[in-house]
Structures are given as structure tokens and as C-alpha cells.
């Protein structure tokens, strides 16, 4: 990943926060049709991240068994997952200082690692159940246990997998180099903008980029 020093990080904790916020990542595999013709494939999937006490971490997900990407992971070749967070266009009219030019602010994470396929029924059940409970709001009144028989029938139609992370790089480009007045102006504009803009404003607040 290219990213200027103020925005770049290889801190697994920052990457983990972004993965938990974004959830959807694009899995990219580099299988090959022939020895001399590599074939890049990509697929959007939901991911969880699990950190261990020893500093290691892994991504966890599953895919439709009809998706050809899981076969590209059978040989354990390294894969890349790209998490692209909410982004926003920033007009020069927002700033309190001048001269300024238009820009984009955003967060993204690139995670590389070694995949392992999960075919065991109980293990796939845990992957699906954990993801549902992570995403479902506590007060929704719904739990995956309510559709246990239906879920059991679906498990044969998916393939689970884990990715042992070998590299985690993130870019948090949220206007940190601006002075506090400009940062507050950007935050206020985004917090009253479109839904995507409001998501960026929320991340700015949660990551302590802007002082309110």
C-alpha cells in the first residue's frame, strides 16, 4: 500500500478497528490458469478479525460453495483482502483557510495472509453464528438459534475459511494535517451531509481525529 507517512500504519490494532467497522472486504486471489498465466480473482465478502495474545491475528469468513475463489485457496497461496471504508469529497468551500483545493478523505486497510479452508460442519456453524451475532443489534429480538434447522441445511452450501495474517497495513486519511478549526468545519459539514458523509464524520469522532 502506498500512503504518506502521516496516514500510514502497520499497527494491527488500527487495522482490526477498521475491519470491525467496515466488515465487507474484497478477497483477491492469485491462482493460475497455467504456469505462465496468473489469474487474479476477487470477491466481496464479510469478515471478522480475531486477535491473539501473542500479537498474531486472523480473518474469518465464508463463501458460497459455487464461488470459484475457494478452490484458488486450496494450495494455501497468499491472498489479499482490501477493506475500503466510507469516503467523502471535501470541497474547498468547507475550510476556514485559503487557498485550498478539493480532496477526498477515507480509511482503508490491506490485509495479506495464508488461507485455510474450513469444511467441518461444526466449525462452519460457529463461523456463521459468530458473524450473525457480531452484526445483529442486541435489541433486534432475533438470534441465529431461532432458525437452527434452516441454518443446518444451508451449511453444506458454503465453505468457511480463515486467513492467518502476515501483513496488515492501513491508511487513515481524515484530514489530520489540518488545523483544529478546519477539522471542525469538515466534521460539521460531513455530519450534516449524505449518509456516507455522516459515516466518515462518525469515524473522525471515534478515532479522535477531531476534538469536539
For 68-118, write each residue's pLDDT tens digit. 999 999 988 999 999 999 999 999 999 999 999 999 999 999 999 999 999
Contact 174, 209 (CB under 8 A): yes
Evaluate whether residue 210 is within a structural domain. no
Q: What are 146-185's pLDDT values in tens digits?
A: 998 999 999 999 999 999 999 999 999 999 999 999 999 9
- Residue 3 belongs to a domain: no
What are the cell numbers at 209?
481525529
Q: Say if 203 falls within a structural domain.
A: no
- 97 located within any domain: no
In contact, 119 and 73? CB cutoff 8 Å: no
CATH number of the domain residue 85 falls in:
2.30.110.10
Instruction: Check residue 142 and give its pLDDT.
Output: 93
For residue 168 the three cell numbers come to 496488515
Question: Is 2 inside a domain boundary?
Answer: no
Please report the pLDDT score of residue 22 as a whole number.
95
C-alpha cell read off for 125: 456453524
First CA to last CA across the chain, in angstroms?
A: 31
**What is the value of pTM for the model shown?**
0.91
C-alpha distances in Å from residue 37, one per residue of 33, 68, 119: 6, 17, 29
How far apart are alpha carbons 136 and 145 in whole angstroms? 13
Residue 37 lies in a domain: yes
Total count of domains within the chain: 1
Per the CB < 8 A criterion, the answer to whether 184 and 205 are in contact is no
**Which residues constitute the domain of residue 111?**
8-92+104-177
Do the domain assignments include residue 119?
yes
Whether residue 99 lies inside any domain: the answer is: no
Please write the tens of the pLDDT for every residue from 25-45.
999 998 765 555 567 899 999
Amino acid at each position: 500500500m502506498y500512503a504518506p507517512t502521516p496516514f500510514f500504519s502497520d499497527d494491527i490494532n488500527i487495522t482490526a478497528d477498521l475491519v470491525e467497522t467496515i466488515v465487507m472486504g474484497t478477497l483477491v486471489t492469485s491462482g493460475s490458469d497455467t504456469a505462465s498465466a496468473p489469474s487474479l480473482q476477487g470477491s466481496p465478502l464479510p469478515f471478522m478479525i480475531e486477535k491473539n495474545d501473542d500479537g498474531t491475528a486472523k480473518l474469518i469468513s465464508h463463501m458460497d460453495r459455487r464461488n470459484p475463489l475457494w478452490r484458488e485457496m486450496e494450495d494455501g497461496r497468499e491472498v489479499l483482502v482490501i477493506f475500503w471504508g466510507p469516503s467523502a469529497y471535501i470541497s474547498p468551500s468547507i475550510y476556514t483557510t485559503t487557498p485550498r483545493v478539493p480532496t477526498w478523505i477515507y480509511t482503508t486497510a490491506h490485509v495479506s495472509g495464508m488461507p485455510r479452508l474450513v469444511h467441518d460442519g461444526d466449525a462452519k456453524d460457529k463461523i456463521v453464528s459468530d458473524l450473525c451475532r457480531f452484526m445483529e443489534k442486541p435489541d433486534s429480538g432475533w438470534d441465529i438459534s431461532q432458525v437452527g434447522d434452516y441454518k443446518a441445511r444451508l451449511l453444506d452450501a458454503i465453505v468457511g475459511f480463515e486467513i492467518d495474517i502476515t501483513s496488515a497495513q492501513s491508511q487513515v486519511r481524515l484530514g489530520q494535517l489540518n488545523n483544529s478549526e478546519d477539522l471542525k468545519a469538515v466534521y460539521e459539514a460531513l455530519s450534516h451531509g449524505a449518509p456516507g458523509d455522516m459515516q466518515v464524520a462518525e469515524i473522525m469522532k471515534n478515532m479522535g481525529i477531531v476534538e469536539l
